[in-house]
Structure 1
Amino acid sequence: MHTEPYIPGLILDREGLRFNGLRIYSPRTYSPQTRENAKRDAMWDYFAYMASRNTRVVWGRKKLGKIGGCLSSGGQPAAQSASASQAVARRLPLPENTDVGVENAKMKALFKPKPKTPADLVRQTRDLLIFADRGTDTKESKREEKMMELSKLIRDLKSILYGDSESEPVSEACTQLTQEFFRENTLRLLIICLPKLNLETRKDATQVVANLQRQQVQSRLIACDYLEKNIDLMDTLIAGYENTDLALHYGAMLRECIRHQSVARYVLESEHMKRFFDYIQLPNFDIASDAAATFKELLTRHKSTVAEFLSKNYDWFFAEYNSKLLESTNYITRRQAVKLLGDILLDRSNSAVMTRYVSSRDNLRILMNLLRESSKSIQIEAFHVFKLFAANQNKPPDIVGILVTNRSKLLRLFADFKTEKEDEQFEADKALVVKEIAALEPK
């Protein structure tokens, strides 16, 4: 026969220990001895809870009741256990609000999981990436569950780094995330496992990697330190242009990584640099454009490194540049190439390279052909390079000879050569070129 429990709402039965309907623990998987210990532990948890509510509970020497009985009565009839119950426990009055829902909410709050820190999220992400990388034999449903969890974690990392619609990113959280991310090989795992992620998660991962390249920890870009020690990751990213599904993601990561000068130097000096001349001409327009954007970043961001690279690799680089890009059959490739050439040669840090380039008759021939293009855009960009040949005060004899031979054609061309919008600087440059060509004398 069960009696009313002395502690209202606290019941121990075959389903386990419950407080106002909320299960605190289940005894089914425990041995008898473990169950006894668990019952006592649960009682102490309850006492701690009551203490948090300004309620005092005193526990006497009475043994806990058996399963099926209430804790305070030991399973005895109420008449026999009344005095014993008072010896077992005595408490102060409960607060006025004893609504069961309120009690349950408070109990749930006690067992609420601790919020995950940014470092925790990175560690869990790393563990799941290791799982994905190993490709262990698991049930399909279990694998899908883990991959969904991985997607959520990567999305959470992105939210910390970029913020969301309700809040801006917190610098301290970003710092913790960055430190943990580069403490071990999380970046390597993320890059390697990218093919195994779904499209949206790939996008999130790309944004995470991009953001981390700019995160400073104690005024240092620790991403740069990591990449210098794991520079082979650039090989993986560059080779990604050969994979249609991954090219844009790896390309975006690569452009962010070469923001670091040491990483850009590695790519420039590697054999991979020659591959870009092929990637830029890939039939897939999006991938070709992405490769062209990376190529431009490599040749314009770090001035001193680029100047050194071009000086050391002038012959093969411009031979490839002229034949594969400037003389390409693809209009977009030619337009992008001639514009980039102008950006490179007009940069002061590349003055030595520019002088060498404008001293070549083969280069002049290519630029004069581009001036005859039907596309106004290509003509304008070609003019900005051609004017360097004309303005060179130390023109080699063969350059002078070509300009003199084609003088009348060039002057007629420039007479009607105008931009769509009025441009005073362009007109001034054109006038100077016309003057130089008109004054040339054969050598």
Structure 2
Amino acid sequence: MAKKLTMKGLFKPKARSPLELVKHTHELLMFLDRNMDAREQKRKEKMDELSKAILEIRTVLYGDEESEPNKDSCAQLTQEFFRGDTFRLLIVCLPKLNLGARKNTTHVIANLLRQRVQSQLLALEYLEKNIDLMDILIKGYEDSGDVALSYGAISRECIRHQNVARYVLESDHMKKFFDYIQTPNFDIASDAAATFKELMTRHKSTVAQFLSKNYEWFFQEYNSQLLESSNYITKRQAIKLLGDVLLDRSNSAVMVQYVCSLDNMRILMNLLRDPKKTIKLETFHVFKLFVANQNKPPEIVNVLITNRTKLLRFFDDFTIEKEDEQFETAKADVINEISVLEPKPKISSILSFRNNCEVKC
């Protein structure tokens, strides 16, 4: 038996070197990309071969049960991937792969994007020279299948790099995100929302510049499509994200501009009427910014005074399930601020909270 096992080991295929492995994968991807009309059997054979190659690449990068990844092998593989444009081919051909290969490919790409070779992040330089890859990845949300989820996961890895995130923020893709987030497919909508959140929160200075330049159209779309959405999850995520963005110090100028808008406050007052307590709580964290603003425009002051009785009654009865000292303090501050407001010169039109945004107490 021992002799048989030894003989069997002699005929075990020799593992490919990282360079051979990438070259082989590149050739298989080229075949799939260019031979759409190839015989079904031939395509299946190539696909099976490619799936094995991608799994082998994943093993090199992540290791397996028997061994940890080898640093030199990872470096060689990473260099070859970006040198020969195999990275681009892998993204372009992703929709043609089977589910298992797509999952492994997503892990491979995530690793390559973070892999350092001699302290250099090769992925960043490559992405900056091939920034159009982000057009392919973001447009993946227009696919109705699970390809959208793979492209979404890769997109989030790419926008970890500030220059890549800046490109997406300054592109027309940002306007399309409002549609992606509201797509009927729950998984795709949730994934798009996750990518959108990553774009709006990861790189503080870049986000602040984007919001400053695009304030008008961005918040018009954000308010009308997300905050006023009929979908509970869309609305809840949008309010939470709005609070995170406005409360970030980098966005202080944008926050002041936002809370000086009567139209914005009208939307928040409407949201306080929502039957869902989670919506009310997230709304409160944004609404308190309007009240705390020490330079409230006259129209906002007058609206708060006009609706003082109902607002005070609402906040007096507004509680949360768990004891939260910070929440109670913030609520007390809001109640006190509204209580002592003094009228300012009247404006031509005043929003009536009583008529249009009555709080259900």
For normalisation by structure 1, the TM-score amounts to 0.74
Q: Which residue of structure 1 lines up, in the alignment, with residue 252 of structure 2? A: 351
In structure 2, the CA distance between the partners of 1:138 and 1:364, relative to structure 1 (3 Å rule), is: closer
1:333 aligned to 2:333?
no
> What's 1:121 paired with?
21
Following TM superposition, by how much is the alpha carbon of 1:167 offset from its aligned partner in structure 2, in angstroms?
2.9
- How much has 1:136 moved relative to structure 2? 5.9
- The residue number in structure 1 matching 2:185 is 284
Q: Which one has more relative contact order, counting CA pairs under 8 Å at least 6 apart?
A: 2
What is residue 378 of structure 1 aligned with on the other side? Answer: 279
Shift of 1:437: 0.6
Q: How does 1:249-260 map to 2 (within 5 A)?
A: 249-260=150-161
Which has the larger displacement, 303-312 or 172-181? 172-181
Match of 2:216 among 315, 328, 338: 315
Give how far 1:417 is off.
1.2
Q: Which amino acid aligns with 1:197?
A: L
Structure 1 residue 229: deviation in Å?
Answer: 0.6
2:5 and 2:321 map into 1 onto residues whose CA distance is 71
Residue equivalent to 1:176: 76
Q: If the length of structure 2 is used for normalisation, what is the TM-score? A: 0.91
1:211 deviates by: 1.7
Letter in 2 for 1:178: T
Is residue 2:129 matched to residue 1:234?
A: no
Kindly tell me: are residues 130 and 351 of structure 1, through their superposed partners in 2, closer, same or farther at Cα, counting changes over 3 Å? Answer: same
Offset, 1:145: 1.3
1:176: how far off?
A: 1.6
- Other-structure match for 1:414: 315
Instruction: Please report how far the alpha carbon of residue 173 of structure 1 lies from its aligned counterpart in structure 2 after TM superposition.
Output: 2.1
Question: Which of 336, 340, 346 in structure 2 is aligned with 1:435?
Answer: 336
Give 1:166 shift.
3.0
1:47-70: per-residue Cα shift (whole Å, max 9, x none)? xxxxxxxxxxxxxxxxxxxxxxxx
> What is the aligned partner in structure 2 of residue 159 from structure 1?
59
| Residues 233-267 of structure 1, C-alpha deviations (whole Å, 9 max, x = no match) | 11111111111121111111111111110000000
Q: List 4+ stretches of structure 1 deviating above 4 A.
A: 101-114
**In the alignment, does 2:292 pair up with 1:391?**
yes
Superposed, 1:87-236 pairs within 5 Å as 114-135=14-35, 137-236=37-136
1:157 partner letter: I
Return the letter of the residue paired with 2:165: A
Q: Which runs of 5+ in 1 are unaligned?
A: 1-100
**Alignment pair present for 1:293 and 2:170:** no
Q: Measured at CA, do residues 374 and 111 of structure 1 come closer, stay the same or move farther in structure 2, by a change above 3 Å?
A: closer
Q: Distance in 2 between matches of 1:137 and 1:290?
A: 33
Distance in structure 1 (CA, Å) of the matches to 2:233 and 2:148: 19
Give the deviation of 1:358 after TM superposition.
0.2
Could you tell me which amino acid in structure 1 is paired with residue 296 of structure 2?
A: K
Q: Distance in 2 between matches of 1:133 and 1:150?
A: 12
Q: Which deviates further from its counterpart, 137-146 or 383-392?
A: 137-146
**1:65 matched to which residue of 2?**
none
Q: Give 1 or 2: higher helix fraction.
A: 2
Distance 1:111 1:368, change over 3 A: closer
Distance 1:310 1:298 in 2: 12
Moved more, 131-140 or 260-269: 131-140
Q: Deviations over 1:307-337 (max 9, x none)?
A: 0000000000000000000001111111010
Unaligned runs of 5+ residues in structure 2 are 345-361
Other-structure match for 2:327:
426
Give the counterpart letter for 2:245 in structure 1. I
In structure 1, distance between residues paired with 2:10 and 2:62: 32
Q: How far does residue 109 in structure 1 lie from its aligned partner after superposition? A: 8.0
Q: Return the offset for 1:171.
A: 2.4
Give 1:402's aligned residue: 303
**Alpha-carbon spacing, 1:433–1:129, altered in 2? closer, same or farther (3 Å):** same
Aligned equivalent of 1:302 = 203
- Secondary structure at 2:66 match in 1: coil
Work out the CA distance in 2 between the residues paired with 1:282 and 1:207.
26
| 1:137 Cα offset (Å) | 4.8
Helix, strand or coil for the counterpart of 1:182? Answer: helix
Aligned sequence identity (%): 69
Q: 1: distance between equivalents of 2:304 and 2:71? A: 60
> 2:326 & 2:2 partners in 1: Cα distance?
77
Q: 1:45 is matched with which residue?
A: none
Letter in 2 for 1:281: Q
Matched residue count: 343
- Select the structure of larger CA radius of gyration: 1
Letter in 1 for 2:194: A
SS at match of 2:229: coil
CA RMSD between the two structures: 1.9
Q: Residues 116, 362 of structure 1: CA spacing in aligned structure 2 closer, same or farther, 3 A cutoff?
A: same
CA distance in 2, matches of 1:159, 1:401: 65
